[in-house]
Structure 1
Amino acid sequence: MLPTIALMTLLLLFGMGNRACAGHHPQIKSLSGQVELRPTNTTGWKYISSSMPLTGNEEFRVHPGSTIHLLLSHRKGVYFNQNSRFVISRTNNSNAPYHVSIIYGEAFFFDLENRRGTNPQDIVISTNNSRITLSGSSYIIVDSTSKRLKVLAGVANVRLTHLNQRHHLRAPQKIGITKHNTFKSKMLDKDIEMIQDWVPKEIIRSAKQQQLRNLRRDRILLSGQFKDRVLFTSLDNNSEYAGSWNISSGITNHIKTVLEDRFSHMSFAVSDQAQTGDATHRELAKKYQARYVVRGEIQQFDLLKRADISISGDQYTETKETAVRLRVSVYDAGAGRIIYDQFHRSEKSAPIRRTETRQDYENMQFALKNERFKSTLLGETISECISGIIKDLSVIIY
């Protein structure tokens, strides 16, 4: 009976009853002291109680000596400390239906959603200089006043708008943000002690247990006699291109080579689809002893010719158009889930030169390091598309 009682205790603490799901609106789970609210785009503030219904478009002020606990859904929520001000807004994004904007103050977010479930949703948080995405089984502390972000358990993706930087933080990491720079370090016991006055101890204990499970899984996966490894499977060619080039192998190997040059402490491998078949990410990670598994597809790979004739018939121009769209996902064996799944697209057009006919392209070697190929319109289009992917993966893989 004890495990069942412990589980029910956590469910009640996090507010995971059916009542919390009703209407999918945020709910005030509890508050102490004085908290004010006003609907967005209005000027009238009023004091609130824990029974007050919310619409999901409100601004809050938490007075000195006060706290508030809000549920964003039945498995996601936030605690705000005293002297905080924030806004909760509805969005049109079904993957992240609510956006929490912290004007000032300190907050503790938790996301208990199992990412293997259907229709997973993120928590999106913003401060005056950052945008944070929290995705499943994670606990983070956001201190907007001192400009600190601390990941107690799980992972958080951070975009620093004023520095044009992206960071992928994994517990127990924290990051400090200044006007011109950032610095990362490891969380200390005192970082956790500082929140015990306004976050229930049971919540903190649950976060620590989650992190211990993550660390144990990391040790199991990564304690072999090998460096951290990234496994690429050749991108599936689901485009309409059926020419002589092996674009799946060419693009995959190019991405792998660029990352290999940047991360000398890691090992990189490519396995084609024939070898991987229908194996799951987890099976591939275990088979190849890989920390990350990168998969994806080529959705579009077009080289088109367009002819335009003026109405009077005295002008005739030929234009070539290129379009490349790639989708890439990254599975993190340590976290046990997909942490990145995005597509990148690039398209270009230019007047046709006689030196760039379709036959000229087919006679070239498909080599993205070849300067002649890179200087073509198609080469520029592919390079631009791939550069976006490499930029994202350089932040995620570390």
Structure 2
Amino acid sequence: MGDQGESFADLAHRLVQALDAWVTCVGEPTAEGKPTRKALVKALETERATPVWQSRKRIDEALLSYWLKGRNQLLPGTKHNRLPSKEDCEAIARALREKAPENAQRLPKIGWEIAELARSLQDTGGPGWRNRVLTSVIAQPAEPVEPNETAEPAEVAKPAAHAEPVDAAKSAEPVEPARAAEAVEVGEQKTGKRRGKNGRIWAGAATAAGVAGTIAVFVWLGGEEPSSVSTKPDGSATSAQGADVAKPGPATSTESGSVEGNHRCGKPRSAGAVSWTPCTLLAADGTMSFLVQLTNTSGTPVTVKAKLAYVQAAVEQTCPDPWGALMKVTVPAKATKTSPLNACTASLTSGQAFQSRAWVVPDDTAQWGYREHSPTLHVQDDGTPVWADEV
């Protein structure tokens, strides 16, 4: 990790991904009271009162809340507390072992990754490296690839040398099942709100990178764009990708390149040098394709692992294999690839809502990281499909 050929931007991508994975691993069980934050901190303090653990650094509720900001703790101008170390994560894992055993098993590996990436970023970036991490996570324009380059099914990748053995079936599962409220919230944020995952406005970055840089960082790191729809001079609507969304579009092939037709895509996320986003495409025949679009921002081919599912009426539905379990995809340099239209499909159902759900992680990562959703497609009682931004 962090060899001489890895750039500051690549390391920064991986650090924010690890911090998001930490939030998922610790935040979800504590949000469900398994255990609560107060109970978790109390267990940590009880352990620390014993002679064998007295030398361990204290983790109080304020520090735990700070770590649960995820990548937001790296915002320029934010007070810099220490990042969670491997020792911190091992202690929290012991406290989670009874009520969240799977999370407890994953957490030390995440802590090791955060510590190693932070060390490499400090060596590469020098003093002030934390203020530069978020401004370096900016996607570059993608170039089209040849249509004959398609993703191939993959064998389950072996964990890296430092990772603990992971069961192949478990490695293809999400970190935790999504809560229904969260799934709906992702797709139904209203136009004009520029807020991050925790509802905080991305303000401080403006002074660090200028207005143009701030917008790019905001969009890349998961902030809501003002709208996924723009308006033509005649008043008709077009998507951000330029496709007509006033009527259902044709089901064009998306094995390579960008999504076309009547569709919506979610917030961009990063898996190393690959920017990815889940998309839902509505065809003229009333079927939906649930997709994931992958863009390689680097100058060399990058391989990632991807998994697709979709949410129907706030319930997760599994996509067929291989995309529903684990798909290894190599994205050429400065290129975009999208999963095939027939990889995961469903028909419209009156009175229900749909959205894509995807996970993408670097090829050498043993666990799935943070999931992301496409905007919601609502199917009215009369069968009319309406996107969340059109409601």
Larger radius of gyration: 1
Name the structure, 1 or 2, with higher relative contact order (CA <8 Å, separation 6+): 2
Pick the TM interval, shorter chain.
under 0.3
More helix by share: 2
Higher strand content, 1 or 2 = 1
